[in-house]
Structure formats: structure tokens, C-alpha cells
Structure 1
Amino acid sequence: RALPPSKPVVPEPAGEPTNREIVQAVRDWIETSIKPHAEGHAKFEAVVAMNALGIVLRDLGAGVRAEDAALAEALLSGTTTLAEPGLLAKLRRAVLDKCAIDSPKYAALGAARADWRG
């Protein structure tokens, strides 16, 4: 005997989109709807916008921020110096993390990782 026709499954709403989903949607929209029809400087601006949104996406995906306001203030005021054990390694990691977010194709990034992370 034949099975009764199944009812179409409607996905449940997943709630509000995440910041990552919003940024990705805008980047995709620029890439598929704006950039292909743009010419000259407008096309350049679309690429710049896409690259900026790519940086934001990588930053959101990193899960941690490379900035540390308290550490910066301590270094500027002289209450903390590079003589503090582990500080130079922490700063190097922060630089590598920031470069990986801002410029993942930076040619020297791999060499810096090898030198600084051993």
C-alpha cells in the first residue's frame, strides 16, 4: 500500500542572525549583485568593501581580540616592561594573530610563525 503524501517540512526559524551571518550576507551581496555590474572606481570600491568585510569575518572567527588596552597603558606608563617574563612571547602571538586576521596572505607571515613560535 502507498504511503500518504508527506507534508512539506518548513524549517523552524533560527532566531536572529549572528553578526558573522550579517557580515557574510552583505559581503556575498556585494560580490554577487554589486561588483559584477560596477565599473571603474565603483568596482574598486566594491572590492575594498569586500576585503574590509573579510577582515571583519576573520576577526569574528578568531574568537579573541588582539587588543589589550590595559597592557598598552601599562607599557606606555612604564609599569610594565619587556623584561616581564612571557610578555615578549605574548606580544609576538598578538602580532601573529592580528596579521592572520588583517592580512592572511602576507608573504612573511609563515616565516614569522616559524621564527616566533619555534
Structure 2
Amino acid sequence: MITHPSAQEIVAGVAQWLPVDGSASIFSLRVARNALEIAARDMAMSPAADARAAERMHALLGRGGTREELDVALVEAIRSGAIASDDPSLVAHLRACALDTIAIDQPKYAHTLG
């Protein structure tokens, strides 16, 4: 189960990190811009990515639930051996999750895995 800062947490972090006295360096501004672009992509793309992941996990687990609940259930199923770590459906799900995450976090690199 992969967790990351939410878009709200990223925006709040940038707001706290950037100086308000005009002393921000070009590098600092580029870092802030990159973080805000990630937050914007997260807000735009995460709902659909989460829905796709939940749908795949529903098929894998044979049960419904929220994305978070299904993530926990999937981890438990893998740990218990109910789902083999090399199960093709699991591997396809994890690959799709990785591609969705990369599309949000580092979209320039998404094409190398797709």
C-alpha cells in the first residue's frame, strides 16, 4: 500500500516553505512550482485512478469497499497467501497502480513504463 502526501498537504507545505519577503531563489520557485503542479495533477487524476484501482481490487478480492479498505484487504490477502504474489491479475493491478502514480508524480517518465 503506497501512501503519499495529499494535494492539500503539498499546497500547505509550499505555502509554509516559501518566504514571503521576496527572497526566494529561482531554485526555490522551481521546486514550489513543481510541487504545485503535482498537487494539481493529483486533484485532477487521483479520483479516476482510485476508482480504477478499486474496481481491479474488487475483481481480485471478490468484495467491495473503499479504495483504502480494499488496499488493506489486498495486503492481508497477499500476506496470508490467499493471493499469490505472482498472480497475473495482481501483477497487472500493481503495474497499473504504478503507472497511475507515475502519471501524477512524474508524467515525463510514464511513457517509459506504458
| TM-score of the aligned structures, taking structure 2 as reference length | 0.50
SS at match of 1:82: coil
SS at match of 1:86: helix
SS at match of 1:87: helix
SS at match of 1:111: helix
Match of 1:51 among 24, 34, 37: 34
How far has the Cα of 1:82 moved from its partner?
Answer: 2.4
**94 and 45 in structure 1: CA distance in 2 versus 1, 3 angstrom threshold:** same
1:92 counterpart residue number: 95
Cα-to-partner distance string for 1:36-94 (whole Å, 9 max, x where unaligned): x6553xx3222212211211111111123367343234434544322435111111101
Distance 1:77 1:46 in 2: 47
Matched, 1:81 2:84: yes
SS at match of 2:108: coil
1:111 counterpart residue number: 112
The structure with more radius of gyration: 1
SS at match of 1:80: coil
CA RMSD of aligned residues (A): 3.4
SS at match of 2:37: helix
**70 and 47 in structure 1: CA distance in 2 versus 1, 3 angstrom threshold:** farther
Distance 1:55 1:99 in 2: 10
How far has the Cα of 1:111 moved from its partner?
Answer: 3.3
**55 and 77 in structure 1: CA distance in 2 versus 1, 3 angstrom threshold:** farther
Structure 1 segments unaligned to the other structure (5+ residues): 1-19, 114-118
Structure 2 segments unaligned to the other structure (5+ residues): 1-6, 54-66
| TM-score of the aligned structures, taking structure 1 as reference length | 0.49
Structure number with greater CO (CA < 8 Å, separation at least 6) is 2
Task: Give % identity.
Answer: 40
